[in-house]
Amino acid sequence: MNYQRILDEIFCEVKPEFGKGKVADYIPALSKISPDKFGMFVSCVDGSEYFVGDVFETFSIQSISKVFTLTLAIEFEGDKIWERVGKEPSGNPFNSLVQLEYENGKPRNPFINAGALVIT
């Protein structure tokens, strides 16, 4: 599979969208970042690397960390984690606690803040 070609094609397809988004201005680390920034990096188990865009610039990962935390939790605890956190969409903002109160303290999923705290 030609990963570099795939990344290059994705880059060309989304490039017209650069700058059209709005960064989260309520998070200081994100408010200073240009909405034109874009990068993808694939690192394969054989050591090969493929990338496109602004991949060598440092950035604040924010909620992307929730994916890594969930992956580690599944690796160490397996399906047992689903006893403490659900797999359903919440329909509320990521930082809302309203649903948590209605559902006896079990967060809807690991990607809202309450769920990420349980997984951590």
What are the sequence ranges of the domains in the chain? Answer: 3-53, 62-119
Q: What is the CA radius of gyration of the chain?
A: 18
| The model's pTM | 0.75
Distance between CA 19 and CA 48 in Å, rounded?
Answer: 31
Range of weakest confidence among 40-44, 71-75, 77-81, 94-98: 94-98
Judge whether residue 103 has pLDDT over 90: no
Query: What pLDDT, on the 0 to 100 scale, is given for residue 119?
Result: 96
- The CA–CA distances, whole Å, from 24 to 13, 29, 33, 68, 103 equal 24, 9, 9, 21, 29
Query: What pLDDT, on the 0 to 100 scale, is given for residue 93?
Result: 82
Mean pLDDT of 89-109: 86
Strands (E) across the chain are located at 39-43, 49-53
Dump pLDDT digits (tens) for 79-94: 999 999 999 998 888 8
